[in-house]
Structure 1
Amino acid sequence: MLSRQQLRTEMRQRRQALSAATQHSAALALCQQVLSQPDIMCQQHFALYLSNDAEINTSPLINALLNANKQLYLPVLHPFVSGYLLFQHYLPSMPMRTNKFGIAEPAWHCQHIKPVAELDVIFTPLVAFDDRGQRLGMGGGFYDRTLAPLNHLAAPARTPQLIGLAHNCQQWPELPIAPWDQPMAAIATPSHFWRFNAD
């Protein structure tokens, strides 16, 4: 079995090998997968992310949700607590900055932050996923740490839906799991939308 780091390397190479045309068509197909889910599209507050390192392009989905008058939030590195994310309201007209990882994020504004538990849907990046709803991230643990408090809320049905976004080629038969890994409620790819039962 490959180690978690070996899997990250393998999966990053897979998605980096995709042509620009494949990336473009995959992004459009992923967008349609999400838009075709009525229980998702009836929600209002969505956290997404700006794609990086050959991740599936979220721009079509961002534009579609904005056109549907949804409220969007992007992750920003927590300015006071290392290793955590905050989700800040986003509009295309807002000023952006580049964080220490070279990823664009909205310029910090405390009044625009949405508490994680008040989001309806959180779309997460991932390096790999399996058919149990397990997600393997880049290794920094930002999403796992940020989302962990949701496990302790008294009303699980009211917590955000966690949905991973990926290329088809990022599926793996069975991921090696760590205790801190946050499972997904669903995974969306260009060809499929998987849903997973909460344990």
Structure 2
Amino acid sequence: MTQPGKSALRAEARATRRHLAASFPGAAGKAALFVDVLPPGPIVAAYCAIGSELDPEPLVGALLVSGRSLCLPVVLERDAPMIFRRWSPGDPLKPDAAGCPAPLPLAAVVDPDLILTPLLAFDDFGGRLGQGGGFYDRTFAVRPGVMRIGFGYSGQRVPRLPMESHDIRLHGVLTEVGYTAARKV
């Protein structure tokens, strides 16, 4: 059950993110400059930005140059954890069960070492406010060893987010001002 305050937080965070996206169009390129401070791992799960989400495209290019392989999440069932399929820029995509662009079924299923996740808001303790579908939290729950990294604007940081029992904390967040590891709760 979602806390009543989360829908109000989401509405406010969406408005903030839209404002940040319009005000800082170069933020994604600046964030990509910090590719070398991301935690290690040969396979990184990116995502296809929707709406005002910070677009990981510049970071994807930097990850490829640094020798990492990429994959994208795929929702097969709305209430199940996501799977990940190998992906390179230019590979064909089609909408998955959640309507997000995803690699075709012929792409190999892989296990990422690091998952980049979009967000509406984040805090210093690894709290992440997502869209509310639970796709990332369900996926993180079955992949406890994977590094969970939020990707967003520094202006999406809030003092503290409410966390529910099913919410899984991030290990850190990458923004246009750098990478910050989550503080212990």
TM-score past 0.5 threshold: yes
Question: Which consecutive residues of structure 2, in runs of 5 or more, have no partner in the other structure?
Answer: none
Partner residue, 2:11: 9
Question: Which consecutive residues of structure 1, in runs of 5 or more, have no partner in the other structure?
Answer: 152-158
Asked whether the 8 Å contact 2:41–2:113 carries over to 1, the reply is yes
Which of 44, 50, 53 is equivalent to 1:52? 50
Partner residue, 1:43: 41
- What is the percentage of aligned positions where both structures have the same residue? 31
User: Which amino acid in structure 1 is aligned with residue 33 of structure 2?
Assistant: Q
TM value normalised by structure 1: 0.82
Distance 2:108 2:85 in 1: 5
Distance 1:54 1:22 in 2: 11
Asked whether the 8 Å contact 1:83–1:142 carries over to 2, the reply is yes
Deviations 1:2-55 (A, max 9, x none): 8111111111111112355612x100111112x131x63x42111111111201
| 2:130 is the counterpart of 1:137 | yes
Report the structure, 1 or 2, having the larger helix content. Answer: 1
The 5 Å alignment of 1:27-38 reads 27-33=28-34, 35-37=35-37
SS at match of 2:20: coil
Asked whether the 8 Å contact 2:75–2:98 carries over to 1, the reply is no
Superposed CA RMSD: 2.1
Partner residue, 2:104: 107
| 2:167 is the counterpart of 1:181 | yes
TM value normalised by structure 2: 0.88
SS at match of 1:148: helix
Which of 70, 77, 85 is equivalent to 1:88? 85
Distance 1:75 1:50 in 2: 9
Distance 2:67 2:33 in 1: 17
Distance 1:10 1:26 in 2: 20
Deviations 1:78-120 (A, max 9, x none): 25x74431111001242211235442111123x61113xxx22
Asked whether the 8 Å contact 2:76–2:97 carries over to 1, the reply is no
Q: Name the CA shift for 1:112/1:19 in 2 (closer, same or farther; >3 Å).
A: closer
Distance 2:13 2:127 in 1: 15
